[in-house]
Amino acid sequence: MSDTEPPEKKPKIICNLSNIYLDTIDQCIESISSSERNLQPIISDELTQPLEFINVFVGHIKNVKDISRTILILNDKIPLKELSHLKRVRRQDIILCPTKFLDNMSSIQDYIESHVTELRDVFDYFKEVNVPLLPPKVMKQYNEVRKIWSCNFHPNHYFEKLVSNHFFSVYDVKIHRKFMEVAFEIAKWYAIHDGVAFDINNILLTIVNVTVVVDPNFNRIVTIAYDYRHDHPMQHSAMLAIDNVAKTQNGGVWSTESNDGLLPGIDKELVHFLKQKFSQFIIGLKKTNWSGAKGGQKMDTDGEKGGPKSDSHEENKEKDGPYLCTGYYVYMLREPCVMCAMALVHARAKRVFFCFNNSVCGALNSVAKLQTISSLNHHFEVFTGFL
Amino acid sequence: MVEFMKRALELASEALSAQEVPVGCVFTINDTIVAESRNSVNHTRNPTRHAEMNCIDSVLEHCKKNGIDHASYFRNVVVYVTVEPCIMCAAALNILNVNEVVYGCANDRFGGYTVLDVRKFYEPNYLLTGNLCADEAMALLKQFYKGANPNAPETKAKKKPS
Ligand SMILES: [Zn+2]
Ligand SMILES: [Zn+2]
């Protein structure tokens, strides 16, 4: 007995790990599908972080009758272009200039007396106040600012929606969670059929990645891709998915086995499994599918603009055929790396959803947020918070 | 190494005649060309088929065919590309740990250095130099964007590398 035990040890460990892995996936699927919590948009720090402040000199006006005259003179003598989001006056306090403006060369009193002589007798005292350097973007910031100084603010409906905890309708949350489930089921399917190389330190990061591309207008899974980087260092799942989408548009470069052209590179058995498991979704896209059936109630694909698109609009779109990943949603297990995230920008994906952060090189939340870089020519929305 | 950049520029012109964004790229090892390609985004309907990515695939294919370990192979590669690699390609070249990247003109819309310095996310990262034959590279881009939209004002065309 003892001589048969040692060779068995190694496979046993792998077997345990893969059981842990499959259990972990099952737990993830369970929490993703049982939760109704809304998803979290990943947005620019400008909307979420506390405002930056700048120190300014403020003069207190003795007589309220002098206020309007004082404003006119100050706007002429010391214009404050970079602080134009602030009202110059708050009650009897008026902003004179940033403190750094005087650079400790003279006191504010001396400065006013020598440079703005018309106002030498207007103030009874001076003080320093910290005022916001930039205009508030959302109501929450505005309410902070208001306590300190009067400020111009025009609420932006879309920004407010982004910082709220109810970006998606209850119905849409369910669908997004269902599509993320698809990604996990694919990971599980590959783990069972092909096995996985395990990282003993973090079993979840063992999951390389899965990408599911969806046309939200028809609840159609346009393509799926499983990470192939162990064999080809560029074939991260998002890169493969983008090439698969190209194949649905008579393009593509990577030779992946085709199963009747529906989901290139994807095992027929897996397609069959997904069709059974997720019968509410249409799976695969052929050219002839462009005017295909619509799957139930449509998701709100226009974000804040809302409302379903008119049929005539859709017909026009179908005649032209799809272009890259325009209008598509992308669901991934893990935050895409810098390469994949930028590839999705090039592909003009409409929304990207992911489950786990990629702290090493994730470019939509962890090391950078490509969706907030204004010089890029395309910006998608990014959501997480499935678990 | 102007000769390699000149070759990359030839490939970029070839892209232009094929109605692709004119970017060309050459990979070298010990001053010998081991891969060369150009942008092929429109033909492949795949927006990631930049010149660099095409070169990478051809090296990977070569390595696979000849049983060469691609990881150590890429470590000796010097990349010559007519336009600063975009964020995606810059990340790819860092993932593969190439030795050095030399580019022509800057890319102020997508540049993996100008817009976001991708090297800071990777350790180790490659050596980067720009401005080799930048004018020629830019001239090709201008020609493309002029042709693509004859109504586009000159200033608009100028702002659109790769
Ligand atoms: Zn990636
Ligand atoms: Zn590129």
Q: Tell me the CATH architecture of domain B1-146.
A: 3-Layer(aba) Sandwich (3.40)
Confidence of residue B4 (pLDDT cuts 50, 70, 90): very high
- Residue A2 phi/psi, 5-degree rounding, is -65, -25
Amino acid residing at A172: D
Q: Which helix (H) or strand (E) holds A186?
A: helix A170-194
CB contact set of B156 (below 8 Å; sequence gap of 6+): B145
Asked if A368's CB is within 8 angstroms of B121's CB, the reply is yes
Q: Is B63 on the interface with A (CB under 8 A)?
A: no
What's this model's pTM, rounded to 2 decimal places?
0.86
Residue A265: closest CA among A292, A282, A241, A287: A241
- Tell me the per-residue pLDDT of B87-145, one tens digit each, with 9 for 90 and over: 999 999 999 999 999 999 999 999 999 999 999 999 989 999 999 999 999 999 999 99
CB A221 within 8 A of CB A282: yes
A365 C-alpha to ligand 1 centroid (Å): 14
Chain A, nearest residue to B56 by Cα: A234
- Tell me the per-residue pLDDT of A217-251, one tens digit each, with 9 for 90 and over: 999 999 999 988 888 999 999 999 999 999 888 89
Percent pLDDT > 70 in chain A is 82
Tell me which residue has tokens 């560029």: A234
For residue A297, the distance in angstroms to the closest alpha carbon of chain B comes to 31
- Tell me the per-residue pLDDT of A184-196, one tens digit each, with 9 for 90 and over: 999 999 888 887 7
Round to whole Å and give the CA distance between A166 and A176.
14
- Tell me the per-residue pLDDT of A300-336, one tens digit each, with 9 for 90 and over: 655 444 333 333 333 344 446 789 999 999 999 999 9
Separation in Å, CA A108 to CA A164, B2, B102? 43, 60, 54
Query: Can you give the pLDDT at residue B116?
Result: 97
Confidence of residue A206 (pLDDT cuts 50, 70, 90): low
What average pLDDT score do residues A336-348 get? 98
Question: What is the CB-side half-sphere exposure of residue A273 using CA atoms within 13 A?
Answer: 15
Residue-by-residue DSSP string for A306-338: -SPPPHHHHHHHHHH---TTTT-EEEEEE--BH
- pLDDT over 50 (residue B74): yes
| Chain B residues in contact with A337 (beta carbon < 8 A) | 91, 95
Could you tell me which residue, B28 or A286, shows the higher pLDDT?
Answer: B28
CATH 3.40.190.10 is held by the domain A25-39+168-384: no
CB A371 within 8 A of CB A335: no
For residue B64, the distance in angstroms to the closest alpha carbon of chain A comes to 10
Separation in Å, CA B94 to CA A72, A108, A313, B99? 57, 54, 43, 9
Chain A, nearest residue to B91 by Cα: A339
Domain ranges in chain B? 1-146
| Tokens (6 digits) for A341 | 């995230």
| Chain B residues in contact with A242 (beta carbon < 8 A) | 46-48
- Tell me the per-residue pLDDT of A125-153, one tens digit each, with 9 for 90 and over: 999 999 999 999 999 999 999 999 999 99
Nearest-by-Cβ selection for A373 from B40, B60, B115 = B115
| Tokens (6 digits) for A116 | 């703005």
Domain ranges in chain A? 25-39+168-384, 46-163
| Tokens (6 digits) for B54 | 């095409």
Buried-state track A8-37, b at ≥16 Cβ within 10 A, e below 16: eeeeeeeeebbeebeebbeebbeebeeeee
